[in-house]
Amino acid sequence: MAAPGAGASGEDALIARYFKPLATDPGAFNLVDDAAILKASGEDIVVKTDAIVEGVHFLPDDPPDTIARKALRVNLSDLASKGATPAGFLLTLALRKADDSWLAPFARGLGEDAAHYGCPLLGGDTVSTPGPLMISIAAFGRVPSGKMVHRFGAQPGDRVVVTGTIGDATLGLDILKGGKAAAALADNAAARDMLVARYRVPQPRNALALAIRDHASASMDVSDGLAGDLTKLCSASGVSAVIDVPGIPLSAPAATLLARGAADIGTLISAGDDYEIVCAIPEDRFEGFARAAGAAGVAVTPIGTILAGTSAPKFLDAQGREVPLPRLSYSHF
Amino acid sequence: MAAPGAGASGEDALIARYFKPLATDPGAFNLVDDAAILKASGEDIVVKTDAIVEGVHFLPDDPPDTIARKALRVNLSDLASKGATPAGFLLTLALRKADDSWLAPFARGLGEDAAHYGCPLLGGDTVSTPGPLMISIAAFGRVPSGKMVHRFGAQPGDRVVVTGTIGDATLGLDILKGGKAAAALADNAAARDMLVARYRVPQPRNALALAIRDHASASMDVSDGLAGDLTKLCSASGVSAVIDVPGIPLSAPAATLLARGAADIGTLISAGDDYEIVCAIPEDRFEGFARAAGAAGVAVTPIGTILAGTSAPKFLDAQGREVPLPRLSYSHF
């Protein structure tokens, strides 16, 4: 991604018009170079890439600015869960055509999020494709040397904690597809809008990164379903867990849909796109963690306990029975 | 990209089987985490992303291992031109289906190049797409603080130098498409194969990175055509240039095709996919640069001179006339 001078092509002009304003970091060299620089003075650079594809991770009709925000935020969510501070990102944008009415709001949404989260555009590549739109972002963060929080590290006795609420995004997608949730909330536009917004625009918990770094023994973001992702965290840590399903935090619209029989809890905890954080907090750090989370304005809820053993975590209902899960987590293949 | 434990999906199994062996850097945590770490002790991290798309940057019939090599090498070429030492990369792979007979050679080619260039896989994302295959790589390099070589910095009087030979890749593509070059080299399978290999598998000049860093005032890789890319370098540097077109290095097959009238020099110097380096070397550094290039085993050829002014570089034939250029450089839009 390089802005044009003499010999500017359509691609160069597009980059200059829409993306150069986002390249606010001095290391981006105003996108007039072939590469950017990330300064590091002894910290570790945390690197992560996540892509979103039209028809898979977002819908063709989704507003361009929400597509941009989702593309960046799914990566910011990973940085948050690792305890890292955002430092910048690279963008790969595969488009069928360069359409100003799509690019202008896309770049505006991306720029607003880049500014809000302190994660400037460092460079990128725009390519043409006859296929679906695809946005791949590589995001970078900083942590003090050796302080990245891993999937591994959870210990028996740790509390299992999640941020925010679980299951909203899959309900939002169901509403966009005209599913059961849409009919069951026909009387409540605000609830429908809230769930749709949760699907389209994740709320990454970057405000919690420092508390995660200071207190969590293990952490990851919930992108492929709470049940599957916690299973991965436990597997990487060589532990098991027991989860009190009625204690899993739900939004009011999600609780309404459960009560109306238009959703089931097994689906909510195994569907994807939550972009919350699930982490393990040692018992003696929980109070400090909860205090730090409160100061950061992020709701955190203990939902269970890490156990010794290597069996998959158990998700138990109020009667202590295992909740049936339709699938453990999302897989592309 | 994370390798599986309990709850492994098809996607996880794919990653464990094909990509975990490439994650040789300790900062990749064997792909069992959500992010990787790049250590930096005071150096600058150079970051770059370039994507390749089926039908645009490679052909559907290209062998999977050459597609993988091209995806990595187009990024390595940028790192080389910036004077950076490869440090690792993130991979985004958009596939229609997980096909072992494609993935196995793809991963093998990628792994061989990652090892050869000292650029280990740090993480990635695999997504399904109904559209063309797409591989986006974000590559990272290291340079001593402040020592990245830029597009800007060329000064009047500097020599313009290119590595290797120019125009081979576009001729290779022409052969794959059954164009004029194929017919004109019907008698010479070795020449055809050489040109096709130049299209499919770029030869990034990473061996030259240190010499570039020590001697070049400005540098970039030639990916979108020598004429257009030099124009961009001059524009970024606020200078012009004059190029002696007969002095531009050509391979023997390219020279044969020119002689047989099956190619024209204007196309060769404005077509893309060379993945050579064009750089500006101050006159008093040229001897040292040439010596360092020789020691690195990279052919370098002076082809012209940087001039004061802001007009586009002039490409002159043996009679001092401007060579007609069909287009200045490749644009996706």
Q: What pLDDT does residue B50 have?
A: 96
User: Could you tell me if A90 lies within 8 Å of chain B, comparing CB atoms?
Assistant: yes
Q: What is the pLDDT of residues A122-171, one digit of tens each?
A: 999 999 888 899 999 999 999 999 999 999 999 999 999 999 999 999 99
Residues of B within 8 A of A45 (CB-CB) are: 37-40, 45
Mutation target for A interface from B46, B152, B333: give the one with most A CBs within 10 A. B333
Chain B residue whose CA is closest to A223? B34
* d(CA A119, nearest CA chain B) in Å: 14
Q: How far apart are CA B220 and CA B169, in angstroms?
A: 18
User: Could you tell me if A60 lies within 8 Å of chain B, comparing CB atoms?
Assistant: no
- Across the interface, whether the CB atoms of A128 and B53 are under 8 A apart is answered yes
Q: How far apart are CA A43 and CA A147, in angstroms?
A: 9
Map tokens 């002014």 to a residue: B309
Q: What angle do CA B237, B241, B246 make, to 5 degrees?
A: 140
Q: What pLDDT does residue B26 have?
A: 95
Across the interface, which of A45, A125, A127 has its CB nearest the CB of B45? A45
Taking only the tens of pLDDT, chain A with its 333 residues reads 544 443 446 778 888 899 999 999 999 999 999 999 999 888 999 999 999 999 989 999 999 999 999 999 999 999 999 999 999 999 999 999 888 999 999 999 999 999 999 999 999 999 988 889 999 999 999 999 999 999 999 999 999 999 999 999 999 999 999 999 999 999 999 999 999 999 999 999 999 999 999 999 999 999 999 999 999 999 999 999 999 999 999 999 999 999 999 999 999 999 989 999 999 999 999 999 999 999 999 999 999 999 999 999 999 999 999 999 986 655 556
* d(CA B47, nearest CA chain A) in Å: 5
User: Could you tell me if A154 lies within 8 Å of chain B, comparing CB atoms?
Assistant: no
User: Could you tell me if A331 lies within 8 Å of chain B, comparing CB atoms?
Assistant: yes
The total number of residues shown for chain B amounts to 333
- Position B1 pLDDT exceeds 60: no
How many other C-beta atoms lie within 10 A of the C-beta of residue A255? 14
The set of residues, in sequence order, having a beta carbon less than 8 Å from that of B274 and lying 6+ positions away, is: B164, B166, B167, B168, B169, B202, B222, B223, B225, B226
User: Could you tell me if A91 lies within 8 Å of chain B, comparing CB atoms?
Assistant: yes
- Position B64 pLDDT exceeds 80: yes
Chain A residue whose CA is closest to B225? A7
Long-range contacts of B15-18 (CB under 8 A, 24+ apart): B15/B124, B15/B126, B18/B103, B18/B104, B18/B106, B18/B107
Segments in A35-130 forming alpha helices (H): 64-81, 100-116
Q: How far apart are CA A301 and CA A95, in angstroms?
A: 40
What's the whole-model pTM score? 0.94
Q: What is the pLDDT of residues B118-163, one digit of tens each?
A: 999 999 999 988 889 999 999 999 999 999 999 999 999 999 999 9
Chain B residue whose CA is closest to A13? B333
Closest by Cα among B62, B201, B72 to B133: B62
Q: What is the pLDDT of residues B181-231, one digit of tens each?
A: 999 999 999 999 999 999 999 999 999 999 999 999 999 999 999 999 999
Helix and strand element counts for chain B (H, E)? 11, 10
User: Could you tell me if B11 lies within 8 Å of chain A, comparing CB atoms?
Assistant: yes
- Across the interface, whether the CB atoms of A329 and B129 are under 8 A apart is answered no
Do A234 and A313 meet the contact criterion of CB atoms below 8 Å apart? yes
Closest by Cα among B89, B148, B80 to A138: B89
- The two tokens of residue B30 are 């064997």
Residues of B within 8 A of A35 (CB-CB) are: 46-48, 78-79, 82, 84, 141, 148
User: Could you tell me if A34 lies within 8 Å of chain B, comparing CB atoms?
Assistant: yes
User: Could you tell me if A323 lies within 8 Å of chain B, comparing CB atoms?
Assistant: no
- Across the interface, whether the CB atoms of B12 and A312 are under 8 A apart is answered no
Do A200 and A63 meet the contact criterion of CB atoms below 8 Å apart? yes
- Position B325 pLDDT exceeds 60: yes
* d(CA B293, nearest CA chain A) in Å: 22
- Across the interface, whether the CB atoms of B330 and A221 are under 8 A apart is answered no
User: Could you tell me if B67 lies within 8 Å of chain A, comparing CB atoms?
Assistant: no
What ranges make up the beta strands (E) of chain A? 36-53, 85-95, 121-128, 134-143, 159-163, 218-222, 240-244, 276-281, 300-307, 314-316
Report DSSP state, residue A243: E
Q: What is the pLDDT of residues B31-43, one digit of tens each?
A: 999 999 999 888 9
Q: How far apart are CA A176 and CA A196, in angstroms?
A: 7
Closest by Cα among A81, A76, A67 to A119: A76
Q: What is the pLDDT of residues B253-280, one digit of tens each?
A: 999 999 999 999 999 999 989 999 999 9
Q: What pLDDT does residue B331 have?
A: 59
Q: How far apart are CA A167 and CA A37, in angstroms?
A: 38
User: Could you tell me if A328 lies within 8 Å of chain B, comparing CB atoms?
Assistant: yes
Residues of B within 8 A of A48 (CB-CB) are: 34-36, 90, 123
pLDDT band for B5, please (50, 70, 90 cuts): very low
User: Could you tell me if B102 lies within 8 Å of chain A, comparing CB atoms?
Assistant: no
Do A265 and A257 meet the contact criterion of CB atoms below 8 Å apart? no
- Position B23 pLDDT exceeds 70: yes
**What is the SS3 assignment for A178-203?**
CCHHHHHCCCCHHHHHHHHHHHHCCC
Q: What pLDDT does residue A291 have?
A: 98
Q: What pLDDT does residue A107 have?
A: 97
User: Could you tell me if A232 lies within 8 Å of chain B, comparing CB atoms?
Assistant: yes
- Across the interface, whether the CB atoms of A49 and B92 are under 8 A apart is answered yes
- Across the interface, whether the CB atoms of B9 and A329 are under 8 A apart is answered yes
Residues of A within 8 A of B213 (CB-CB) are: none
Across the interface, which of B33, B140, B152 has its CB nearest the CB of A150? B33
Q: What is the mean pLDDT of residues B5-12?
A: 58
* d(CA B117, nearest CA chain A) in Å: 18
Q: What pLDDT does residue A1 have?
A: 55
Residues 252-311 of B with CB under 8 A from A: 310-311
- Across the interface, whether the CB atoms of B236 and A32 are under 8 A apart is answered yes
Backbone angles phi, psi at A244, to 5 degrees: -90, 95
* d(CA A231, nearest CA chain B) in Å: 6
Q: What pLDDT does residue A15 have?
A: 87
- If DSSP codes are grouped into helix, strand and coil, which group holds residue B261? coil
- Across the interface, whether the CB atoms of A131 and B126 are under 8 A apart is answered no
Q: What angle do CA B301, B304, B305 make, to 5 degrees?
A: 125
Mutation target for B interface from A18, A20, A37: give the one with most B CBs within 10 A. A37
* d(CA A183, nearest CA chain B) in Å: 30
Residues of A within 8 A of B131 (CB-CB) are: 129-132, 134
Mean pLDDT, chain B, integer? 94
Q: Where is B258: in which H helix or E strand? A: helix B252-259
Do B92 and B59 meet the contact criterion of CB atoms below 8 Å apart? no
